[in-house]
Structure 1
Amino acid sequence: MWLKIIGSLMVITATACIGFNLAAQYIERPKQIRQLISCLSALKSHINYAATPLPEALNICTNGITGPVADLFHTMSELLTTNGWLTPQAAMEQSFNEVNNLVLKKSEQEVLAVFSANLGGMNREEQQKSLNLAHEQLSRIQYEAEKLCEQNVKMYRYLGICGGLIVVIVLV
């Protein structure tokens, strides 16, 4: 009897944790996109107005931001500093591979890949246009991510708990 109760509680706890982890990813994605937009805005000002070198600008643009997005830009800065032959696009791709806990989807990664391909290879006006385009695209993606967050967070939480209850009922 006690074994069934303990087993049932373990199943419900496990499925609830899965549901809450999935919900946390939907909560974290808009936050990371907002941080990306903030970093790009700071990067834009450092490139256009202060004429800061790219690795230094990447480090400075993450002031006030912590977490995986800051790690992404710091890693990119370190790669550009240590490997002078590395392009910004290659540094961004390597940074994506090295940084954990990023919940960005393919669309955000593609926007950043296109942005980093244009970074450093053009004059300031063209880079400003590229930054503005990336900012607009990320803003649109952020809006969609927030809508998905509102729709799916409660669903995954309830699904985790209810799924565990269904499994327990079927097994008992």
Structure 2
Amino acid sequence: MWLKILGSLLIVVAGTAMGFSVAARYAERPRQIRQLISCLSALKSHINYVAIPLPEALSQCTSGIVGPVADFFHTMSLLLLTNGWLTPQAAMDQALIESKQLVLNQPEREILAVFGANLGSMDREEQHKSLELVHEQLSRIQYEAEKLCEQNVKMYRYLGICSGLAIVIILV
């Protein structure tokens, strides 16, 4: 009897944890996109007005930001510093592969890949225009991600709890 109660409790807790885990990914994505937009805006000012080398600009654009987005830019900066032969696009691609904590979907990754291809290959004015375009695209994606977050966070939380309870009912 106690074993059934303990097993049922563990199943409900596991279902709830899975639901909250999926909901946390949906809640984290808009926050990371906001941080990405903030870092790219800082990078734009470092490129246009301060005119420092790209690895330094990448490491300085994350001031005040912690987490996976800051780690992504620091990784990219370190890759460019340690491997002088590496292009910004290759460094960004490698940093995207290495950063497992980023909760970015395919559209954001494609925007960053296009931005990485343009980074360092144009003059300041063209890079400024490219950064503006990336900012607009990421802002639109952020709005869509916030709408998805509002819709799905509660649903996945309830779905986790209810699926755990449904499994318990089926097994008992």
Shift of 1:97: 1.4
Give the structure 2 partner of residue 16 of structure 1: 16
Matched, 1:48 2:37: no
Give the structure 1 partner of residue 78 of structure 2: 78
Deviation track 1:57-87 (CA, whole Å, cap 9, x = no partner) reads 0000000000000000000000001111101
CA distance in 2, matches of 1:100, 1:106: 14
Give the structure 1 partner of residue 129 of structure 2: 129
Shift of 1:119: 0.3
SS at match of 2:8: helix
* TM-score, length basis structure 1: 0.99
Shift of 1:98: 1.2
Matched, 1:153 2:153: yes
Give the structure 1 partner of residue 163 of structure 2: 163
Give the structure 2 partner of residue 4 of structure 1: 4
Q: Percent of pairs identical after alignment?
A: 74
Give the structure 1 partner of residue 108 of structure 2: 108
Letter of the aligned partner of 2:79 in structure 1? L
Shift of 1:100: 2.1
Give the structure 2 partner of residue 140 of structure 1: 140
Letter of the aligned partner of 2:24 in structure 1? A
CA distance in 1, matches of 2:97, 2:119: 19
Name stretches of at least 5 consecutive residues in structure 1 with no aligned partner. none
CA distance in 1, matches of 2:52, 2:148: 37
Letter of the aligned partner of 1:129 in structure 2? K
Shift of 1:31: 0.3
Aligned length: 172
Deviation track 1:79-118 (CA, whole Å, cap 9, x = no partner) reads 0011111011100111011112111001101001100100
CA distance in 2, matches of 1:82, 1:39: 22
SS at match of 1:132: helix
Shift of 1:154: 0.2
TM superposition outliers: structure 1 runs of 4+ over 4 Å? none
Give the structure 1 partner of residue 59 of structure 2: 59
Deviation track 1:21-78 (CA, whole Å, cap 9, x = no partner) reads 0000001000000000000000000000111110000000000000000000000000
